[in-house]
Amino acid sequence: MSALLLLVPLAMAMGAVGLGAFLWSLRSGQFDDPDGAAERIFSDADDKPINR
């Protein structure tokens, strides 16, 4: 029972740190364009056109 007195506040503190990190990443723009990198692989912007 005494272990719960230590583990419950520890778990809540770790959850608060995780929530704080998530909110920080939202505010810093980490999730602005989640599909951009996935679609960029299909782009042929680096290919040069074939001159005929």
Q: Which residue has the higher pLDDT, 37 or 32?
A: 32
* In a domain? residue 28: yes
- Assess contact for 25 and 31: CB atoms under 8 A: yes
* In a domain? residue 47: no
DSSP 8-state secondary structure symbol assigned to residue 35: T
- Residue recorded with tokens 């503190």: 13
* In a domain? residue 31: yes
* Range(s) of the domain holding residue 34: 1-42
DSSP 8-state secondary structure symbol assigned to residue 39: H
User: What pTM value is reported for the model?
Assistant: 0.60
Work out how many domains the chain is built from and give that number: 1
Q: What is the pLDDT averaged over residues 28-49?
A: 74
* In a domain? residue 6: yes
User: Quick one: pLDDT band at residue 13, thresholds 50, 70, 90?
Assistant: very high
| Consecutive H or E run containing 25 | helix 2-27
* In a domain? residue 38: yes
* In a domain? residue 52: no
* In a domain? residue 7: yes
Rounded distance, CA 7 to CA 39, Å? 44
